[in-house]
Amino acid sequence: MSTIRKILFLTACMWGMNAQALDVRGQERLEEIQSEWAEIKYRVSAKEQEKAFERLDATAQQALAESADAPELLIWRGIVLASWAGAKGGLGALDLVKQARSSLEAALEREPSALDGSAWTSLGSLYYQVPGWPLGFGNDERAEEMLHKALAINPDGIDPNFFYGDYLLREGRYDEARAALLKARAAAPRPGRELADEGRRREIDALLAQIEEKTRN
């Protein structure tokens, strides 16, 4: 084998190791975090969510310590931090969203397509919801770019289409928003994520109702 071929072969092997799936324990921890997140997001009262997400972040940090910063767990720590920030609200949440961004960017460095491109979806949602400079890092153009990258990886997924639809609604692009949200609502069920799917579909229906109200006249 030539020297160049050896280098290419070794590089491919290293990439394969970096992109390998979680081990059994890591997968169990991931599913635990996903399940607990859905319980908090859709079943815990708003006034109790901040503390609940704070506790879940501790779980996510422990899982990351056990699984050597696996991209899947970095993504979910970012999601937990962003959700915690949403529950906290106000200027005090800005540090949490910055931590969420860092965790999601770290996941992208390791494996951009992990969990069907969920890091792109979550980052995009942060960029259109966080205030812009000088308070935060929000940027609508970057948000749309990131959401497009998420949709390129997972064009039929419920989450990328939901967040893209929400972004388009905020931009006043109602026809495009409706199409994205209807696509999100038609997404295939995710095994083991039934509560998350149920809650997301309620959110989709609420946004569709907003579009109908805004376009009625």
Kindly list the domain boundaries of the chain, sorted by start residue.
27-132, 155-217
The pLDDT value given to residue 140: 97
pLDDT in single tens digits along all 217 residues of the chain: 443 333 333 323 323 333 346 889 999 999 999 999 999 999 999 999 999 999 999 999 999 999 988 999 999 999 999 999 999 998 889 999 999 999 999 999 999 999 999 999 999 999 999 999 988 999 999 999 999 999 999 999 999 999 999 999 999 999 999 999 999 999 999 999 999 999 999 999 999 999 999 998 6
Burial 197-215 (b: 16+ CB within 10 A, else e): bebbeebbeebbeebeeee
Asked if 26 and 66 count as a contact pair (C-beta separation under 8 A), the reply is: yes
Tell me what pLDDT residue 14 has.
29
Tell me the pTM: 0.89
Cα–Cα distance, 200 to 139 (Å, whole number): 24
Residue with tokens 């990439």: 15
What whole-number distance in Å separates Cα of residue 101 and Cα of residue 113? 16
Architecture of domain 27-132: Alpha Horseshoe (1.25)
| pLDDT tens profile 101-136 | 999 999 999 999 999 999 999 999 999 999 999 889
> What single-letter amino acid sits at 19?
A
Half-sphere exposure of 71 (CA within 13 A, CB side): 21
pLDDT at 20: 46
Query: What pLDDT score does 4 carry?
Result: 35
